[in-house]
Amino acid sequence: MAKIIVIGSSNTDMVIQSDRLPAPGETVLGGIFFMNPGGKGANQAVAAARLGGETYFITKVGKDVFGESALKQFTLEGIHSQFICQDEKQPSGVALINVDAHGENCITVASGANARLMPSDIEAANSLFQNGNWLLLQLEIPLETVIYSIEKAHHAGLSVVLNPAPACALPETLYAHIDIISPNETETEFLTGIRPVDEASLSLACDYFLSRGVKRVVITRGAKGAYWKTQGAFGHVPAQHVVAVDSTAAGDCFNGALVVALSEGMAFDQAIAFACKAAALSVTQLGAQASMPTREQL
């Protein structure tokens, strides 16, 4: 079985569900509160593991109740967690999430130990890179660690998937080391300067990445599905029609599922369809990791 390495953040999500999101300075009463493990890296690792991928996770948590809870949860999910670090000084990451009645959300993150996941922590997992097959990353950890990890994986012969979320400026030279990039529409516009509103602009935005050395591009579009392009082909995969309850971590579910499908040998368009189906199922449930479907549910 192919080995999937996920490097990224681990947070505890503190969620309030209410009828609508508050405007600046406004208090909205009548919400429902719950806590759920989250963080883009952890979400994607859980998504991959639940869908059958042999998943190894590298992150950094604090030596606190949230960190200990996260480590226990990763073990329960069947994730290989021997390369997870615990920080002596910083608390574990926390995210405050508001969700409205339509499943839309707004999120504020206190990164904590995530901000101290450094290249030296990745170097400690050198043996894993020598035997891995796929690397999946996001941008909730220091950019220098993302760059180091991508370059290390590229030189070791791993297939690299970057989910550039939340979006930030990337070095031009990094693109040539990325096999697949998977931005959403907002991240696509930030990185390319092109607003992807129709097939022409979607294609043009993909060309931006392809011309810089990325091998394959998939732009996720929420309820509109996903658009993909390579040097020789392109296509659109429609989304499944569902009643959305909470869109938190739908993109993370998509990326974890995409890598699992590709690691099993699915064609790119088939893997995207598999990922769209998983993401659609995830938005029908509340929470981040709690909403990640199993292979049986899919």
The residues annotated with a catalytic role in the active site are 252
248 is in an annotated binding site: yes
- Report the Cα 46 to chain-centroid distance in Å: 10
43 is in an annotated binding site: yes
152 is in an annotated binding site: no
235 is in an annotated binding site: no
230 is in an annotated binding site: no
13 is in an annotated binding site: yes
271 is in an annotated binding site: no
Contact in structure between 240 and 284 (CB atoms under 8 Å): no
Contact in structure between 9 and 51 (CB atoms under 8 Å): no
41 is in an annotated binding site: yes
Which position has the token pair 């891995």? 132
Contact in structure between 86 and 80 (CB atoms under 8 Å): no
- Report the Cα 49 to chain-centroid distance in Å: 13
Contact in structure between 63 and 88 (CB atoms under 8 Å): yes
223 is in an annotated binding site: yes
100 is in an annotated binding site: no
285 is in an annotated binding site: yes
225 is in an annotated binding site: yes
Indicate if the alpha-carbon torsion angle 76, 252, 150, 144 is positive or negative.
negative
CA distance linking residue 288 with residue 239, whole number of Å = 19
Return the number of other C-beta atoms located less than 10 Å from residue 34's C-beta. Answer: 12
Radius of gyration of the chain (CA): 18
251 is in an annotated binding site: yes
203 is in an annotated binding site: no
252 is in an annotated binding site: yes
Return the number of other C-beta atoms located less than 10 Å from residue 295's C-beta. Answer: 12
Residue 105, burial from CB neighbour count under 10 angstroms (0-12, 13-18, 19+) = middle
184 is in an annotated binding site: yes
Beta bridge partners of 54: 3
Query: Which of 282, 253, 283 minimizes the C-alpha distance to 104?
Result: 283
CA distance linking residue 200 with residue 288, whole number of Å = 33
CA distance linking residue 99 with residue 141, whole number of Å = 24
Question: Is 72 in a helix, a strand, or coil?
Answer: helix
> What DSSP designation does 23 have?
P
163 is in an annotated binding site: no
Q: Binding site for ATP: which residues? A: 184, 220-225, 251-252
Q: Binding site: which residues? A: 11-13, 39-43, 140, 184, 220-225, 246, 248, 251-252, 282, 285, 287, 291
Q: Binding site for substrate: which residues? A: 11-13, 39-43, 140, 252
Q: Binding site for K(+): which residues? A: 246, 248, 282, 285, 287, 291
